[in-house]
Amino acid sequence: MRPLLLLLCLVARASAAPPEPSIDVVAAPPIETAPAGGLDPDVVARLDAVDQAIGTSPLDALVDRVLVLYESDDPFSRAQREAARPRSVELLGRIGERARTAGDLVTAARAFDARRTISGGGRDPQLAQVLTAWAERDAKASPGRALYLARRARAADPGDSRAADLDDDLGKNHRVWPGRLAIVAGFVALAVGIYARSRVSAIEEDLAMHARPGDQVESALAERDRYDAIGTGLIIAAPVISFGGVLLMWSGKPSYSPTSPAELPALGGR
């Protein structure tokens, strides 16, 4: 399966520099890189063959045949790309639609992605839908690949809610807020523990300053012991709770990164 990364590089190069109208030959007249009609007969014949074979031949091979002109870096191919663009875009769209109908998500994605690249980018809901379906299918087995596909789908159609939801689900740390709450709970526990310990000191000072009947002394001592147990426990538990929150947040970070599938190499930085 031919990588589309090469396609992007060639299209970008072609857009940066206009194709050469002719090639100089030693001791001979210059050779025109494109005929007057815009396309060589062999290019027209190849596109005609693809057109006729869409209903019968393997669709993946047809995508490769359409892209021959855009993967070749010779001056003749570069000079004919613009003339071939409308029909190439139309053929890739038909191939992609037929592949999607047949349930071949990978070929449909290749065709639609190539169509979008040749067209110069822009919004493409069909591509976004296919990439999202592919990402949903592979989300459990290959979350990194699914994340890449979901983000590429969002680039193709920023309004696609399925792609956005999948991107958020795969790319976000879902334990951030529970972890933050645990950290806050640790600080609250520390504050309550310090308060409880202050109550122990207050009760002991009060008993030392004022004479009280035996039953009141026993009640105050029991209250002091309760505050002492609560305060000591919370002060010990506070750092454990907060550290646990930090670990919870860290454990929720995705262990994968967006990874382009071999069938659909990255066509641009994201």
Residues 201 and 84 placed together within one structural domain of the fold: no
Q: What is the pLDDT averaged over residues 91-100? A: 95
pLDDT band for position 36 (cuts 50, 70, 90): low
pTM: predicted TM-score of the whole model, two decimal places? 0.67
Residue-by-residue DSSP string for the chain: ---SHHHHHHHHHHHHSPPPSEEEETTEEEEESS-TTSS-HHHHHHHHHHHHHTTTS-HHHHHHHHHHHHH--SHHHHHHHHHHHHHHHHHHHHHHHHHHHTT-HHHHHHHHHHHHHHHT----HHHHHHHHHHHHHHTTT-HHHHHHHHHHHHHH-TT-HHHHHHHHHHHS-TTHHHHHHHHHHHHHHHHHHHHHHHHHHHHHHHHHHS---HHHHHHHHHHHHHHHHHHHHHHHHHHHHHHHHHHHHHHTS-S------TTS---S--
Termini Cα distance of the chain: 23
pLDDT (mean) for 106-126 = 91
Question: 261 and 148 in one domain?
Answer: yes
* 269/138 same-domain check: yes
- Shared-domain flag, residues 141 and 246: no
Confidence bin at 25 (pLDDT 50/70/90) = very low
Same domain, 12 and 87: yes
C-beta neighbour count of 31 within 10 angstroms? 11
Residue type, 207: L
Per-residue pLDDT at 162 exceeds 60 = yes
Together in a domain, 223 and 193: yes
**One domain for residues 154 and 197:** no
In this prediction, residues 81-88 reach a mean pLDDT of 88
Q: Distance (Å, rounded) from C-alpha 58 to C-alpha 47?
A: 15
Statement to judge: residues 264 and 226 lie in one domain: no
Q: Do 150 and 213 meet the contact criterion of CB atoms below 8 Å apart? A: no
Q: Do 215 and 265 share a domain, yes or no? A: no
Residue 76 near residue 33, CB atoms below 8 Å:
yes
Residues 15 and 51 in one domain: yes
Rg of the Cα trace of the chain?
34
Domain range enclosing 244: 176-251
